[in-house]
Amino acid sequence: MIPFINVRAQREAYKSEFLQAEQQVLDSGCFIGGPTVETLEAELAKYTGSAHAITCGSGTDALTIALLALGLEPGDEVIVPDFTFIAPAECVVRLGGIPIFADIDSEMLQISAESIEQRITAKTKGIITVNLFGQCAPYKKIRNIAKSHGLWLIEDSAQAFGATQYGQNACTFGDISITSFYPAKPLGCYGDGGALFTQDDGLAQKIRLIANHGSRTRYVHEICGMNSRLDAIQAAVLRVKLRHLDDELKKRQENARKYDEFFNAIQGITPQKIADGNTSTYAQYTLLVEDRPAFLKHLENAGIPYCIHYPQPLHEQPCFKELVQVRGSAANNASTIKACKKVISLPFCAFTNVEEIIARLKKVM
């Protein structure tokens, strides 16, 4: 059976490194925080070029902590993409804010700078961008918009740790940037995990405070914070994977090129476009397919698994319906609606046998 993401092949490839790193943590008796987590944070900061990297319990926690650190208050509006995983909008709502859904561009599928600008009101406090499927959003335009309107910017790079835009690393475009180490991510651990990145010393201090029960000194709680931390065992796993990340990204890009070559020759199927100046981690390899039901049948006949990221615009999700209708969170996002009808993601990682998938498809299409 072809796996959608082959985490087992990855474990086999670096098994002795994993076993050694895991054993060290287990023998150390230090399971939360401590030297392994600190070393990982230093390595993440160095890799991205951020002054600060602060690990936490998940990408969703990272978004919540970022919103708290930036001072989100009930009733504040935050512009988020309509076409993405729910976490950015969900975290805004959890803190009493109002997500305002911006449209995407129809080829790159990234949040559209023009749509962001149209959604700005007197209540807008910030923007959360998502580096969707592994490539960066259009930051030159978006950062200019944020600056000229006095808005903060959170870069959600859950899917794009390791991506670049004109040579600048993902996780360095926001006032705060975040990533997720969910196992299926390009840099994933063996459970939940996440991290925040910032160049700002003051924000870094706030983030650490919030993530650690509002406490700098044991049993002194300056604010009401939360408990969000990365386990040492996950940090050990991530340190091994980080050493191999650049090689894996090269393999991912080669695999994407092979898929692209095949699908570009087929009418009615278009791979997600990568913007000029971007390198992608290909967290997902995603196609836009005119006749999706017919293509799904081909995949099923060929025994190829697939996922639909994402089947519905966020503004249509039951949990946001009232918000959209009653509170006027804008939602006539034509490109998002179209994308939801056309997208399909194929099996993809550094260990995916793309040739075999293409060969199987050739037999049935």
Ligand X SMILES: Cc1ncc(COP(=O)(O)O)c(C=O)c1O
- The footprint of ligand X (CB under 6 A) covers 58-60, 84-85, 87-88, 130, 156, 158-159, 180, 182, 192, 194
Q: 3-state SS string over 147-163? A: HHHCCEEEEECCCCCCC
Q: Closer CB to ligand X, residue 128 or residue 209?
A: 128
Q: Closer CB to ligand X, residue 130 or residue 136?
A: 130
Question: In whole angstroms, how close is the CB of 194 to ligand X at the nearest point?
Answer: 5
Residue 275 neighbours by CB distance under 10 Å = 15
Q: Closer CB to ligand X, residue 77 or residue 155?
A: 155
Question: In whole angstroms, how close is the CB of 137 to ligand X at the nearest point?
Answer: 11
Nearest residue relative to ligand X (C-beta): 59
Q: What length is written for the chain?
A: 365
Structure tokens at 126: 């910030």
Q: Closer CB to ligand X, residue 160 or residue 361?
A: 160
Question: In whole angstroms, how close is the CB of 159 to ligand X at the nearest point?
Answer: 5
Question: In whole angstroms, how close is the CB of 126 to ligand X at the nearest point?
Answer: 16
Question: In whole angstroms, how close is the CB of 160 to ligand X at the nearest point?
Answer: 9
Report the Cα–Cα distance between both ends of the chain, in Å, rounded. 20
Q: Closer CB to ligand X, residue 85 or residue 351?
A: 85
Question: In whole angstroms, how close is the CB of 253 to ligand X at the nearest point?
Answer: 20
Q: Closer CB to ligand X, residue 50 or residue 131?
A: 131
Euclidean distance between CA atoms 258 and 271, whole angstroms:
11
Q: Closer CB to ligand X, residue 171 or residue 361?
A: 171
Question: In whole angstroms, how close is the CB of 58 to ligand X at the nearest point?
Answer: 4
Question: In whole angstroms, how close is the CB of 111 to ligand X at the nearest point?
Answer: 11
Q: Closer CB to ligand X, residue 84 or residue 115?
A: 84
